[in-house]
Structure 1
Amino acid sequence: MGFPKRKNIQDEVRQKLVIVGSKNPVKISCTDAGFHQAFAGAFLVEGLNVDSGVSAQPKGDEETLQGAINRAKNSKAVFPEADFWVGIEGGVDSINGEMHAFAWIVVVDSFDNLGKSKTSTFILPPAVAELVESGLELGEADDKVFDRENSKQGNGAVGILTSGALDRKEYYQQAVVLALIPFINTDMYKIAIND
Protein backbone atom coordinates (compact mmCIF):
# COMPACT_ATOMS: atom_id res chain seq x y z
CA MET A 1 0.00 0.00 0.00
CA GLY A 2 1.58 3.27 -1.05
CA PHE A 3 1.35 6.56 0.76
CA PRO A 4 -1.03 9.23 -0.41
CA LYS A 5 0.72 12.55 -0.87
CA ARG A 6 -0.21 15.22 1.63
CA LYS A 7 -2.41 16.92 -1.00
CA ASN A 8 -4.34 13.68 -1.78
CA ILE A 9 -5.58 12.67 1.66
CA GLN A 10 -7.45 9.36 1.66
CA ASP A 11 -10.13 8.51 4.20
CA GLU A 12 -8.42 5.44 5.56
CA VAL A 13 -4.83 4.23 5.32
CA ARG A 14 -3.33 1.25 7.17
CA GLN A 15 -1.05 2.39 9.95
CA LYS A 16 2.59 2.07 8.90
CA LEU A 17 5.34 1.07 11.31
CA VAL A 18 8.53 3.14 11.23
CA ILE A 19 11.56 1.99 13.22
CA VAL A 20 14.24 4.52 14.19
CA GLY A 21 17.71 3.10 14.84
CA SER A 22 17.99 4.87 18.19
CA LYS A 23 16.13 5.20 21.48
CA ASN A 24 16.95 8.92 21.60
CA PRO A 25 13.57 10.65 22.10
CA VAL A 26 14.55 13.58 19.86
CA LYS A 27 15.32 11.25 16.93
CA ILE A 28 12.05 9.37 17.42
CA SER A 29 10.04 12.58 17.73
CA CYS A 30 11.56 14.27 14.65
CA THR A 31 10.95 11.11 12.60
CA ASP A 32 7.33 10.95 13.72
CA ALA A 33 6.79 14.63 12.91
CA GLY A 34 8.62 14.35 9.57
CA PHE A 35 6.57 11.38 8.35
CA HIS A 36 3.33 13.08 9.37
CA GLN A 37 4.41 16.31 7.70
CA ALA A 38 5.30 14.54 4.43
CA PHE A 39 2.38 12.10 4.20
CA ALA A 40 -1.28 11.79 5.02
CA GLY A 41 -1.90 8.62 6.95
CA ALA A 42 -1.22 6.93 10.23
CA PHE A 43 2.25 6.07 11.47
CA LEU A 44 3.56 4.36 14.53
CA VAL A 45 7.18 5.36 15.15
CA GLU A 46 9.30 3.34 17.57
CA GLY A 47 12.97 3.46 18.55
CA LEU A 48 15.37 0.55 18.65
CA ASN A 49 18.93 0.48 20.01
CA VAL A 50 21.24 -0.64 17.20
CA ASP A 51 24.92 -0.19 16.48
CA SER A 52 25.99 2.55 14.09
CA GLY A 53 29.17 0.70 13.16
CA VAL A 54 31.13 3.97 13.21
CA SER A 55 32.94 6.05 15.83
CA ALA A 56 31.00 7.34 18.82
CA GLN A 57 31.55 10.80 17.29
CA PRO A 58 31.70 10.43 13.52
CA LYS A 59 33.86 12.89 11.62
CA GLY A 60 33.25 13.91 8.04
CA ASP A 61 30.43 13.23 5.61
CA GLU A 62 31.49 9.72 4.67
CA GLU A 63 31.66 8.28 8.19
CA THR A 64 28.52 10.11 9.34
CA LEU A 65 26.49 9.00 6.32
CA GLN A 66 27.72 5.41 6.81
CA GLY A 67 26.57 5.55 10.44
CA ALA A 68 23.06 6.61 9.35
CA ILE A 69 22.94 3.88 6.69
CA ASN A 70 24.11 1.29 9.23
CA ARG A 71 21.50 2.36 11.78
CA ALA A 72 18.69 2.07 9.23
CA LYS A 73 19.87 -1.29 7.85
CA ASN A 74 20.66 -2.75 11.29
CA SER A 75 17.17 -1.75 12.45
CA LYS A 76 15.72 -3.58 9.47
CA ALA A 77 17.79 -6.68 10.25
CA VAL A 78 16.60 -6.70 13.87
CA PHE A 79 12.95 -5.82 13.15
CA PRO A 80 12.15 -6.77 9.53
CA GLU A 81 8.36 -6.56 10.02
CA ALA A 82 8.26 -2.74 9.82
CA ASP A 83 7.48 -0.64 6.73
CA PHE A 84 10.34 1.88 7.04
CA TRP A 85 13.61 2.06 8.96
CA VAL A 86 15.36 5.35 9.75
CA GLY A 87 18.96 6.06 10.66
CA ILE A 88 20.00 9.45 12.05
CA GLU A 89 23.67 10.13 12.71
CA GLY A 90 25.15 13.40 13.93
CA GLY A 91 28.64 14.28 12.77
CA VAL A 92 31.27 16.98 12.76
CA ASP A 93 33.79 18.14 10.20
CA SER A 94 36.68 20.59 10.33
CA ILE A 95 36.88 23.04 7.46
CA ASN A 96 39.43 25.86 7.37
CA GLY A 97 40.08 25.55 11.09
CA GLU A 98 36.41 25.62 12.08
CA MET A 99 34.35 22.68 13.29
CA HIS A 100 30.94 22.28 11.66
CA ALA A 101 28.11 20.14 13.08
CA PHE A 102 25.46 18.37 10.97
CA ALA A 103 23.55 15.10 10.69
CA TRP A 104 22.67 12.59 7.97
CA ILE A 105 19.22 11.01 7.81
CA VAL A 106 18.65 7.76 5.88
CA VAL A 107 15.29 6.09 5.25
CA VAL A 108 15.05 2.49 3.98
CA ASP A 109 11.85 0.76 2.88
CA SER A 110 10.90 -2.90 2.55
CA PHE A 111 12.32 -3.01 -1.02
CA ASP A 112 15.68 -1.58 0.17
CA ASN A 113 14.99 1.73 -1.57
CA LEU A 114 17.02 4.45 0.08
CA GLY A 115 16.21 8.09 0.77
CA LYS A 116 18.81 10.33 2.36
CA SER A 117 19.36 13.91 3.33
CA LYS A 118 21.81 16.03 5.26
CA THR A 119 20.82 18.75 7.69
CA SER A 120 22.10 22.28 7.39
CA THR A 121 25.42 22.88 9.12
CA PHE A 122 26.53 25.30 11.79
CA ILE A 123 29.88 26.27 13.27
CA LEU A 124 30.66 25.12 16.80
CA PRO A 125 32.33 27.46 19.31
CA PRO A 126 36.08 26.87 19.72
CA ALA A 127 35.66 25.62 23.31
CA VAL A 128 33.27 22.88 22.15
CA ALA A 129 35.38 22.05 19.08
CA GLU A 130 38.50 21.60 21.21
CA LEU A 131 36.75 19.08 23.46
CA VAL A 132 35.43 17.15 20.45
CA GLU A 133 38.93 17.12 18.93
CA SER A 134 40.23 15.73 22.23
CA GLY A 135 37.87 12.74 21.92
CA LEU A 136 34.56 13.71 23.51
CA GLU A 137 31.23 13.26 21.72
CA LEU A 138 29.55 16.54 20.79
CA GLY A 139 26.79 16.02 23.38
CA GLU A 140 29.35 15.50 26.15
CA ALA A 141 31.30 18.56 25.03
CA ASP A 142 28.10 20.64 25.06
CA ASP A 143 27.29 19.42 28.58
CA LYS A 144 30.74 20.47 29.83
CA VAL A 145 30.91 23.86 28.12
CA PHE A 146 27.30 24.90 28.75
CA ASP A 147 26.92 23.17 32.16
CA ARG A 148 24.05 20.97 30.96
CA GLU A 149 23.09 17.35 31.48
CA ASN A 150 22.30 14.95 28.62
CA SER A 151 21.80 17.77 26.10
CA LYS A 152 21.92 15.34 23.17
CA GLN A 153 18.53 14.01 24.24
CA GLY A 154 17.23 17.57 24.53
CA ASN A 155 17.83 20.67 22.45
CA GLY A 156 21.40 19.68 21.56
CA ALA A 157 24.08 22.12 20.43
CA VAL A 158 21.77 23.74 17.87
CA GLY A 159 19.15 24.53 20.51
CA ILE A 160 21.70 25.83 22.99
CA LEU A 161 23.52 28.00 20.44
CA THR A 162 20.31 29.49 18.98
CA SER A 163 18.85 30.11 22.46
CA GLY A 164 15.99 27.80 21.57
CA ALA A 165 15.08 29.54 18.29
CA LEU A 166 15.75 26.21 16.56
CA ASP A 167 15.65 23.03 18.61
CA ARG A 168 17.18 19.70 17.68
CA LYS A 169 13.81 18.13 16.78
CA GLU A 170 13.00 20.90 14.26
CA TYR A 171 16.57 20.83 12.95
CA TYR A 172 16.34 17.08 12.17
CA GLN A 173 12.67 17.08 11.11
CA GLN A 174 13.30 19.10 7.95
CA ALA A 175 15.99 16.65 6.86
CA VAL A 176 13.67 13.69 7.59
CA VAL A 177 11.12 15.21 5.18
CA LEU A 178 13.86 15.75 2.58
CA ALA A 179 15.01 12.13 2.95
CA LEU A 180 11.43 11.09 2.13
CA ILE A 181 11.43 12.84 -1.28
CA PRO A 182 12.01 9.59 -3.23
CA PHE A 183 9.05 8.00 -1.43
CA ILE A 184 6.83 11.02 -2.10
CA ASN A 185 7.80 10.99 -5.80
CA THR A 186 8.02 7.25 -6.45
CA ASP A 187 7.58 7.59 -10.25
CA MET A 188 10.44 10.06 -10.60
CA TYR A 189 12.77 7.95 -8.47
CA LYS A 190 11.54 4.63 -9.91
CA ILE A 191 10.65 3.23 -6.51
CA ALA A 192 8.38 0.20 -6.21
CA ILE A 193 5.79 0.45 -3.43
CA ASN A 194 3.43 -2.02 -1.80
CA ASP A 195 -0.03 -1.56 -3.31
Structure 2
Amino acid sequence: MNKKVVVASKNPVKINAALAGMQKILPNVQFDVTGCDVPSGVSDQPMTTQETWEGALNRANNAKESEPEADFWVGMEGGIDKDEEGKMFAFAWMCVLDNNGNMGKGQTGVFYLPPKVQQLVEEGVELGHANDQVFNEVGSKQKGGAVGSLTFGALGRTEYYVQAMVLAMIPLVNPKLY
Protein backbone atom coordinates (compact mmCIF):
# COMPACT_ATOMS: atom_id res chain seq x y z
CA MET A 1 0.00 0.00 0.00
CA ASN A 2 1.36 3.39 -0.98
CA LYS A 3 1.31 6.31 1.41
CA LYS A 4 0.86 9.75 -0.10
CA VAL A 5 3.17 12.46 1.23
CA VAL A 6 2.80 16.14 0.40
CA VAL A 7 5.89 18.27 1.01
CA ALA A 8 5.23 21.99 1.39
CA SER A 9 7.87 22.93 -1.18
CA LYS A 10 8.87 22.27 -4.78
CA ASN A 11 12.56 22.33 -3.78
CA PRO A 12 14.01 18.93 -4.76
CA VAL A 13 16.24 18.94 -1.66
CA LYS A 14 13.20 19.04 0.63
CA ILE A 15 11.21 16.51 -1.40
CA ASN A 16 14.13 14.06 -1.50
CA ALA A 17 14.88 14.54 2.21
CA ALA A 18 11.26 13.84 3.16
CA LEU A 19 11.22 10.67 1.09
CA ALA A 20 14.60 9.43 2.34
CA GLY A 21 13.72 10.10 5.99
CA MET A 22 10.40 8.30 5.73
CA GLN A 23 12.00 5.37 3.92
CA LYS A 24 14.60 5.06 6.68
CA ILE A 25 12.08 4.85 9.51
CA LEU A 26 9.39 2.94 7.55
CA PRO A 27 11.44 0.77 5.16
CA ASN A 28 8.54 -1.54 4.27
CA VAL A 29 6.24 1.25 3.13
CA GLN A 30 6.04 2.65 -0.40
CA PHE A 31 5.71 6.42 -0.58
CA ASP A 32 4.39 8.70 -3.30
CA VAL A 33 5.86 12.13 -2.59
CA THR A 34 4.81 15.35 -4.25
CA GLY A 35 5.66 18.97 -3.58
CA CYS A 36 3.38 21.98 -3.48
CA ASP A 37 4.11 25.67 -3.13
CA VAL A 38 2.49 27.12 -0.05
CA PRO A 39 3.38 30.14 2.08
CA SER A 40 5.34 29.83 5.30
CA GLY A 41 3.69 32.83 6.94
CA VAL A 42 7.11 33.96 8.19
CA SER A 43 9.86 36.07 6.67
CA ASP A 44 11.86 34.68 3.74
CA GLN A 45 14.80 34.33 6.12
CA PRO A 46 13.58 33.32 9.57
CA MET A 47 15.90 34.87 12.15
CA THR A 48 15.01 32.93 15.31
CA THR A 49 14.38 29.36 16.35
CA GLN A 50 10.74 30.21 17.11
CA GLU A 51 10.11 31.91 13.76
CA THR A 52 11.72 28.99 11.95
CA TRP A 53 9.51 26.48 13.78
CA GLU A 54 6.42 28.58 12.98
CA GLY A 55 7.39 28.50 9.30
CA ALA A 56 7.67 24.69 9.28
CA LEU A 57 4.35 24.29 11.12
CA ASN A 58 2.59 26.79 8.85
CA ARG A 59 3.93 25.08 5.75
CA ALA A 60 2.71 21.65 6.92
CA ASN A 61 -0.74 23.03 7.78
CA ASN A 62 -0.96 24.94 4.50
CA ALA A 63 0.05 21.84 2.53
CA LYS A 64 -2.71 19.89 4.28
CA GLU A 65 -5.21 22.60 3.44
CA SER A 66 -4.00 22.76 -0.17
CA GLU A 67 -3.93 18.99 -0.73
CA PRO A 68 -6.13 17.32 1.92
CA GLU A 69 -6.02 13.84 0.34
CA ALA A 70 -2.74 12.52 1.75
CA ASP A 71 -1.34 10.41 4.57
CA PHE A 72 1.39 12.85 5.61
CA TRP A 73 2.12 16.55 5.15
CA VAL A 74 5.65 17.85 5.66
CA GLY A 75 6.80 21.39 6.37
CA MET A 76 10.51 22.18 6.43
CA GLU A 77 11.97 25.54 7.27
CA GLY A 78 15.61 26.53 7.36
CA GLY A 79 16.49 29.34 9.69
CA ILE A 80 19.20 31.11 11.58
CA ASP A 81 19.68 32.40 15.08
CA LYS A 82 22.50 33.83 17.17
CA ASP A 83 24.22 32.51 20.26
CA GLU A 84 25.03 34.54 23.37
CA GLU A 85 28.21 35.85 21.68
CA GLY A 86 26.28 37.11 18.65
CA LYS A 87 27.61 34.41 16.32
CA MET A 88 25.08 33.23 13.76
CA PHE A 89 24.20 29.58 13.29
CA ALA A 90 21.93 27.79 10.83
CA PHE A 91 19.54 24.86 11.28
CA ALA A 92 16.16 23.64 10.07
CA TRP A 93 12.91 22.47 11.61
CA MET A 94 10.80 19.63 10.23
CA CYS A 95 7.07 19.34 10.96
CA VAL A 96 5.14 16.24 9.90
CA LEU A 97 1.37 15.91 10.22
CA ASP A 98 -0.46 12.65 9.63
CA ASN A 99 -4.06 11.96 8.66
CA ASN A 100 -4.86 10.86 12.23
CA GLY A 101 -4.29 14.36 13.59
CA ASN A 102 -0.82 13.67 15.01
CA MET A 103 2.22 15.91 14.68
CA GLY A 104 5.93 15.21 14.83
CA LYS A 105 8.76 17.70 14.93
CA GLY A 106 12.48 17.34 14.48
CA GLN A 107 15.41 19.71 14.20
CA THR A 108 18.70 19.41 12.40
CA GLY A 109 22.01 19.95 14.11
CA VAL A 110 23.37 23.48 13.98
CA PHE A 111 26.40 24.84 12.21
CA TYR A 112 27.99 28.26 12.45
CA LEU A 113 28.15 30.65 9.54
CA PRO A 114 31.34 32.40 8.49
CA PRO A 115 31.54 36.15 9.30
CA LYS A 116 31.14 37.17 5.62
CA VAL A 117 27.91 35.18 5.32
CA GLN A 118 26.66 36.49 8.68
CA GLN A 119 27.30 40.07 7.56
CA LEU A 120 25.31 39.60 4.35
CA VAL A 121 22.42 37.99 6.24
CA GLU A 122 22.44 40.85 8.75
CA GLU A 123 22.22 43.22 5.78
CA GLY A 124 19.01 41.47 4.71
CA VAL A 125 20.32 38.90 2.21
CA GLU A 126 18.67 35.46 2.47
CA LEU A 127 21.13 32.75 3.55
CA GLY A 128 20.97 30.89 0.22
CA HIS A 129 21.83 34.05 -1.72
CA ALA A 130 24.53 35.04 0.77
CA ASN A 131 26.03 31.58 0.45
CA ASP A 132 25.99 31.85 -3.35
CA GLN A 133 27.80 35.19 -3.16
CA VAL A 134 30.48 34.11 -0.71
CA PHE A 135 31.16 30.73 -2.34
CA ASN A 136 30.59 31.91 -5.94
CA GLU A 137 27.80 29.39 -6.49
CA VAL A 138 24.38 29.50 -8.16
CA GLY A 139 21.23 28.04 -6.60
CA SER A 140 23.05 26.34 -3.73
CA LYS A 141 19.88 25.98 -1.65
CA GLN A 142 18.45 23.66 -4.32
CA LYS A 143 21.64 21.60 -4.04
CA GLY A 144 24.04 21.17 -1.12
CA GLY A 145 23.12 24.39 0.66
CA ALA A 146 25.40 26.33 2.97
CA VAL A 147 26.20 23.15 4.88
CA GLY A 148 27.40 21.53 1.64
CA SER A 149 29.60 24.50 0.75
CA LEU A 150 31.12 24.67 4.23
CA THR A 151 31.81 20.92 4.45
CA PHE A 152 33.21 20.64 0.91
CA GLY A 153 30.25 18.39 0.07
CA ALA A 154 30.88 15.97 2.96
CA LEU A 155 27.35 16.77 4.20
CA GLY A 156 24.80 18.05 1.71
CA ARG A 157 21.52 19.74 2.52
CA THR A 158 19.42 16.67 1.67
CA GLU A 159 21.42 14.37 3.95
CA TYR A 160 21.44 17.10 6.61
CA TYR A 161 17.62 17.19 6.57
CA VAL A 162 17.09 13.41 6.50
CA GLN A 163 18.07 12.79 10.12
CA ALA A 164 15.71 15.52 11.33
CA MET A 165 12.92 13.96 9.23
CA VAL A 166 13.50 10.61 10.94
CA LEU A 167 13.33 12.36 14.32
CA ALA A 168 10.11 14.14 13.34
CA MET A 169 8.52 10.79 12.48
CA ILE A 170 9.12 9.29 15.96
CA PRO A 171 5.73 10.18 17.49
CA LEU A 172 3.92 9.23 14.28
CA VAL A 173 5.40 5.73 14.10
CA ASN A 174 5.03 5.22 17.88
CA PRO A 175 1.54 6.65 18.47
CA LYS A 176 0.88 4.50 21.56
CA LEU A 177 3.87 6.10 23.28
CA TYR A 178 2.78 9.65 22.55
The reply to whether TM is greater than 0.5 is yes
1:127 aligned residue: 116
Deviations 1:89-122 (A, max 9, x none): 0000011121000000000011321100110000
1:20 aligned residue: 7
* Shift, 1:186, TM fit: 1.3
Q: Distance in 2 between matches of 1:97 and 1:50?
A: 32
Letter in 2 for 1:85: W
1:42 has 2:19 as partner: no
Structure 1 vs Structure 2: percent identity of aligned residues?
55
Unaligned segments of structure 2, at least 5 residues: none
Regions of 4+ moved over 3 Å: none
1:137 has 2:141 as partner: no
Indicate the structure (1 or 2) with the bigger Cα radius of gyration: 1
State the TM-score, normalized to the length of structure 2: 0.98
Letter in 1 for 2:122: E
SS in 1 for 2:60: helix
1:54 aligned residue: 42
1:162 aligned residue: 151
RMSD: 0.6
SS in 2 for 1:92: strand
Deviations 1:157-181 (A, max 9, x none): 0001000111111100000000000
State the TM-score, normalized to the length of structure 1: 0.89
* Shift, 1:43, TM fit: 0.4
1:185 has 2:171 as partner: no
1:147 aligned residue: 136
Deviations 1:127-159 (A, max 9, x none): 000000110110000011111001000000000
Unaligned segments of structure 1, at least 5 residues: 1-13, 190-195
The count of corresponding residues between Structure 1 and Structure 2 is 176
* Shift, 1:183, TM fit: 1.4
Q: Distance in 1 between matches of 2:86 and 2:41?
A: 27
Q: Distance in 2 between matches of 1:174 and 1:160?
A: 19
Aligned pair partner of 1:31 in 18, 42, 46: 18
SS in 2 for 1:186: coil
Q: Distance in 1 between matches of 2:110 and 2:101?
A: 28
1:112 aligned residue: 101
Aligned pair partner of 1:94 in 82, 86, 101: 82
1:68 has 2:56 as partner: yes
Letter in 1 for 2:47: K
SS in 2 for 1:102: strand
